[in-house]
Amino acid sequence: MEKSKIKEGCGKVFFAAAAALCIAAAAAIFVFILMKSVPALRQTGLGDFLFGTTWAPDPNDVYGQTLSGSYGVLPMLTGTLVATVCALAVGGTLGFFTAVFLAYYCRGRIRAVFTAVINLLAGVPSVIFGFFGIKVIMPLFNEISPNGNSSGLLLTSLILGMMIFPTVASLSKTALCSVPAAYYEGALALGSTRDQAVFRTVVPAARSGITAAMILGVGRALGETMAVVMVAGNSPQFIGGLFSSFRTLTANIVLEMGYAGEVQMGALFATGGVLLVFVALTVILLSLVTSDKKTKGRGGKKRGFTFLFDRRICAAGKVFGIFCALFALLFLSALVIYLAIKGLPHMSAQLLFGAYEYGGGISILPSVAATLMTVGISLVIALPLGICAAIFLSEYAKSKNPLVRIIRAAVDILSGVPSIVYGLFGAVTFVTLLGGSYSIAAGSLTIAVMLLPTVIRATEESLRAVPLSLREGALALGAGRLRTIFTVVLPSALPGIIAAAILSVGRVMSESAPFMFTMGSSLQPMPEGAMSGGTTLAVALYYLSGENLYTDEAYACACVLMLIVLALNVAAEVAGRALQKKFQGEKNARKRYKGERRGSLLRRISRSQEH
């Protein structure tokens, strides 16, 4: 008995330690970015840095001497905020009305199709959005641009809007579906039309969830890097119009980190610090919105979305929701079809399987190998830690415990930190610890930290979906909590955990900014090991698409990357459906066999406890 208690206690401590790593990771990111930023802010002055109107750094500037360059980020700060607001106007509007359409006007297979479209759009790498923007949308906008160049606010807002659209649509749909059916039915019983019941009753009741979706969309837009670099024009100046070139904070880091001097490097880290402040504000706003939902309940006097009360507006909202969903379907179809048409003809044997040599033919085989190595190493690190942290939060944590609240806040912060800031953190920590040179190991460690919140959230949701009766049955038969977790809960949640792993693989495949500062940003030969440098497929696409030197190869690389991402999303969808069917009681013969085997296991547990 005493031995069992010790085992239970050690298990709880181990799970708690894994969860506490999130606090350590979030604190380390803030501390290291701050340490690298403070010397530059002392040299330039905080006021001049934040409110200076000129960014013209001198790579020769060093600490302790008079500066010859200018380090004002106000133009990029305003550009980031304006682009985010415009992107929210596009993606937030499309996402909200699409969510309404999916929740109340769409049924059966049609809903499944549009839901799959949203999930697929969420998995498309940002570098593919940017590539599609410069190759397809930019030439169209060039026709209406006064100067013949459409790089600027309008194009950036559209691309960013489509990138945040899946986040807003998915979370808003969840919020709408969580409203009790009695609200909708009661409105119909009181004489409201179907459209009025949706927009007058259901939407205001889901106000908090929809607002949270918008806030998360803002966080995604603030932290986006690669797509913005490809379509914004990147001039460090104030926005002068829809077709005016501008630069965001994230783009500034990517564009200048490679050749930055001492003070310039510190200023770029300070730019990352500004982004972290935005992340913290986003998390605070999100927590306020969710806490407001809990404290006010559904009986509060305040009502939102009153502009939707007019009957004609309600009817128009339904039509616009259908239009938004169709637009998303057309956008994804155009993206996939265009990349297939342009990319498949250029998939040569040399490109896919040839050896890469400097000055010779282009091959993405080394990039594929580097990507697979990065995926393997990062999952080996992130999956066990994330699953253990999720077990603690789901099975042991109490909601009012201060430590649990801090852990959840740390997870929220880690999920909102821009990928470019993860790249800065990886360059300062892992690259330095591993010898100061780019390596696959440094990139894998960086992305492993980045994957933690994704794995934790997905796994925790899967664990919470396991019926409580399974836990109670195992405990009633004498099994301890630790044994119940490993023999009953985890096997039942396995499809969801597999889906989390697949989504993590897709995240690694999609990211590019963190790898540019930890693994390298140019094509390299076949990696010899984890300590070798490498280029992932997403970074290879960014490199090949630059300056139109390897356009055909870029199309083929984009096609390969898109096909892999689509396959991963389909696999995640299949795993998710398996989990849903399992908990809905739809069992085939194999599942019945597994249930019998689990029952025999519980009987063995009972017998062992009796003896």
Can you name the residues that pair with 71 across neighbouring β-strands? 55
- Comparing CA positions, the residue from 420, 507, 407, 518 lying closest to residue 456 is 407
CATH code for the domain of 238: 1.10.3720.10
Three-state DSSP state, 243: coil
- Comparing CA positions, the residue from 126, 128, 149, 154 lying closest to residue 139 is 149
Give the pair of three-digit tokens for residue 609. Answer: 């406890």
Q: Provide the mean pLDDT of the chain.
A: 84
How many residues in total does the chain contain?
Answer: 611
- Res. 28 pLDDT band, cuts 50 70 90: very high
| pLDDT tens digits along 532-585 | 888 899 898 888 887 677 888 889 999 998 888 888 877 777 776 766 666 555
Residue 185 domain-assigned (yes or no): yes
Rounded CA-CA distance 565/577 in Å is: 18
Residue 134 domain-assigned (yes or no): yes
Helix residue spans in 134-225 (DSSP H): 138-142, 153-177, 181-189, 194-196, 203-205, 207-223
* 571 HSE (CA, 13 A, CB side): 16
Helix residue spans in 466-550 (DSSP H): 468-476, 481-484, 490-492, 494-510, 513-516, 537-545
Dihedral (Cα; 439, 444, 450, 453), 10-degree rounding: -170
Rounded CA-CA distance 316/324 in Å is: 12
pLDDT of residue 592: 46
Average pLDDT, stretch 496-507?
A: 79
First-to-last alpha carbon distance for the chain, in angstroms, is: 13
Rounded CA-CA distance 435/259 in Å is: 20
Residue 611 domain-assigned (yes or no): no
| pLDDT tens digits along 441-472 | 999 999 999 999 888 988 888 888 788 888 87
Q: Does residue 293 register a pLDDT over 60?
A: no
Rounded CA-CA distance 19/27 in Å is: 14
Rounded CA-CA distance 433/442 in Å is: 9
Average pLDDT, stretch 301-315?
A: 57
pLDDT of residue 301: 46
Residue 156 domain-assigned (yes or no): yes
Residue 116 domain-assigned (yes or no): yes
Residue 209 domain-assigned (yes or no): yes
Q: Does residue 343 register a pLDDT over 50?
A: yes
Secondary structure (DSSP) of 359-374? TS----HHHHHHHHHH
Residue 124 domain-assigned (yes or no): yes
User: Sign of the C-alpha dihedral, residues 416, 418, 422, 424?
Assistant: negative
Rounded CA-CA distance 427/412 in Å is: 22
52 or 584, which is more confident: 52
Rounded CA-CA distance 236/264 in Å is: 15
- Write phi, then psi, for 531 (nearest 5 degrees): -90, 0
pLDDT of residue 373: 92
Rounded CA-CA distance 348/354 in Å is: 9
pLDDT of residue 587: 45
Residue 4 domain-assigned (yes or no): no
Rounded CA-CA distance 516/438 in Å is: 9
Least-confidence region, from 228-232, 305-309, 384-388: 305-309
Contacts of 557 (CB under 8 A, 6+ apart): 343, 351, 364, 367, 537, 540, 541, 544
Element (H, E) at 55: strand 55-56
DSSP label at 394? I
Average pLDDT, stretch 331-357?
A: 87
DSSP label at 465? H
Residue ranges making up the domain that contains 144: 73-303
Rounded CA-CA distance 252/509 in Å is: 23
Element (H, E) at 261: none
Tell me the residue ranges of DSSP E strands in 337-441. Answer: none
Cβ–Cβ < 8 Å for 370, 534: yes
522 or 599, which is more confident: 522
Can you name the residues that pair with 55 across neighbouring β-strands? 71
Q: How many CB atoms lie within 10 A of CB 418?
A: 24
Rounded CA-CA distance 377/445 in Å is: 8
Rounded CA-CA distance 572/569 in Å is: 5
Average pLDDT, stretch 310-328?
A: 81
Q: How many domains does the chain have?
A: 1
